Amino acid sequence: MKFQGKSTRKYTGGRLIQARGKRKYELGGEQANTHLGDTIRKTVKTLGGQLKVRLLREQTAVVIDPATKTSKTVKIETVTGNPANKNYIRRNIMTKGSIIKTEIGSARITNRPGQEGSINAILIST
């Protein structure tokens, strides 16, 4: 888990003395790291009692063709680009902005699969 509170260091490198310890609500959530494969979703509770669906694995995406303005559910073949992290490409991890190769051409993911539980993309080439 990632701590999202203040640093224990000053900008000069000196140590800050904490007034209190860490709190549960200051912890970040686990990374979903959505992979290519048979669909696996995980539901997690969020602050305020709501639910969030994490997409752990998926092999299909809803792709919108901007030319014809139609959407189609297609199979994902591989991840060909990822501006978030170059190492995600060879591990086939999909995040927002990832370029995926599908049956109908290359597409860019427009949503956050680890936060929303599905993959939406827009066709960039055929």
Instruction: Give me the residue label for tokens 């490409």.
Output: 89
Q: How far apart are CA 78 and CA 72, in angstroms?
A: 17
* pLDDT digits (tens), the chain, 126 positions: 677 888 889 999 999 998 988 888 888 888 899 999 999 999 999 888 999 999 999 999 999 999 999 999 999 999 999 999 999 999 999 999 999 999 999 999 999 999 999 999 999 976
pLDDT of residue 1: 62
For the chain, the structural domain boundaries read 35-125
Question: Residue type for 96, please?
Answer: K
What token pair was written down for 71? 């959407």
Instruction: Give me the residue label for tokens 């997409």.
Output: 55
User: 12 φ, ψ to 5°?
Assistant: -80, -15
CATH code given to domain 35-125 = 3.10.290.70
Q: How far apart are CA 37 and CA 35, in angstroms?
A: 6
With contact defined as beta carbons under 8 Å apart, do 111 and 93 qualify?
no
**Cα–Cα nearest to 77, from 94, 64, 65:** 94
pLDDT of residue 27: 84
